[in-house]
Amino acid sequence: MSACWGHNNRTVAVRIPPADPHARRIEHRIAGADSNPYLVLAAVLAGVLHGLEHDLEPPPPVSGDACRVPAAPLPCTWPEALSAFDREGVLSLRLGRRLVELYRLSRISEHERFRREVSDIDLAWYLPVL
């Protein structure tokens, strides 16, 4: 998935569904079911506020298949995501440096625990039963 948005487009990262102006909302389509919804919402709102305060213009909305439109790719691996996490300092500014650093450290620890696990497929491929 890439960093893109669109109106009523289910292939984009951020979707603006059709609605009356008083009922308009955004759909953040990247966060998984295992995400903390409060942290996701806080991060999205921090980004929105940052854009509004700095008069940042979003790129044009994507129509059609977002996978076929060139856009900035989002991190696909845990190390890439950790490297990109709060690179601009927007989250530290809005949510507090301590919270962001503790969250980053907890994800590093979680990734290290994950990497130490030997998966069933690794066992089947590299240690076949004799």
Give the dihedral sign, CA 18/20/21/27. negative
Identify whether the C-beta of residue 16 lies closer than 8 Å to the C-beta of residue 5.
yes
Mean pLDDT estimate for the chain? 91
How confident is the model over 68-120, as pLDDT tens digits?
888 888 898 989 999 999 888 999 999 999 999 999 999 999 999 999 998 88
The pTM is what?
0.80
Identify whether the C-beta of residue 14 lies closer than 8 Å to the C-beta of residue 59.
no
How far CA 77 is from CA of 64, 102, 127, in Å, comes to 26, 20, 26
Rounded CA separation 115/120 (Å): 13
pLDDT of 21 strictly over 70: yes
pLDDT of residue 102: 95
Instruction: Please give the structure tokens belonging to residue 104.
Output: 């980053």
